[in-house]
Amino acid sequence: MSKFKVFSGTKSRYLALEIAKELGVELGKMNIQHFADGEFEVSYEESIRGAELFLVQSTFANTDNLMELLLMIDAAKRASAASITAVMPYFGWARQDRKDKPRVSIASKLVADLLSAAGVDSVVTMDLHADQIQGFFDVPVNHLYASSVFIPYIESLQLENLVIASPDVGGAKRANSFAKYFKTPLVLCHKQRSRANVVDTITIIGDVRGKDVVLVDDMVDTAGTICKAADLMKQAGANTVRAIASHAIMSDPASERVMDSALTEIIFTNSIPFDTEKCEKATVLSIAGLFADTIRRIFNNESISTSDNFLL
């Protein structure tokens, strides 16, 4: 695997190191030099001519992470890399995926165009906010699912009266996949918002009395929805309420809300770095093995969808 190299941006280095260890390779040497005005420059500190590159960088806030990735791709292209794959465990700006009101941007389409313009050959990401974002790209997109790490964890809990729930109607498809796998009922929550990140009302559709509920979502930002849903389900007679979410955005005051809520536990992946000391109810599962296996399969031209990483 001498022509196979893994590099990382600044904020995703913690995960890239885990992925490289799983692959049995050293993380590539790269330098990101910052200037006084906030501008920065990316340079590779080793030859990458003819190499297949995998650039690990999630594009969570702030926008420096996205800009770093774009410069990494551009520098690799100009250094004659054979192929460039952007490994984006968390694809930021994905919540803006359609024109749902007049005069609004579609940021996820713009990000896809920027990555293509920079010179990326393919993208690996996980649990996009909306599956149709894959269609915004003109290059191959390998869309992974965190279910391969969540399902074994849920099974280890040995919950006797398991029920899968979605905190909103938009996530029904995702939650239904888990419900089918576990052969359990599906409970939905219908929420109404007055504005972004502010939930006015939530209505539970389904029976949770005496049940061990697991709420399924792709991300938790301010935790307003997930905590209100958990509190309502506990009031409706649920035995325990847990939540799983692929991406721990956890903007303030999310940690405080989770700690004050009826949630027994909230489980994330490490697609975004999160310090569990901020929230004692949080558990973080590593996706390094999932991405390492996918990188290995891409390099060897093997099928990804037939692997054990696709449980749903």
Residues belonging to the active site = 191
Alpha-carbon distance of 166 to 144, in angstroms, equals 20
Looking at the chain, list the stretches that DSSP marks H as alpha helix, in order from N- to C-terminal side. 13-23, 64-78, 107-118, 147-157, 172-182, 224-235, 254-260, 288-299
57 in Cβ contact with 86 (< 8 Å): yes
E strand or H helix at 165, and its extent? strand 162-166
With b meaning 16 or more CB within 10 Å and e meaning fewer, what string describes 52-91?
bbbbbbbbbeeebbbbbbbbbbbbbeeeebebbbbbbbbb
Q: Which tokens is 45 given?
A: 């500190």
Alpha-carbon distance of 138 to 122, in angstroms, equals 9
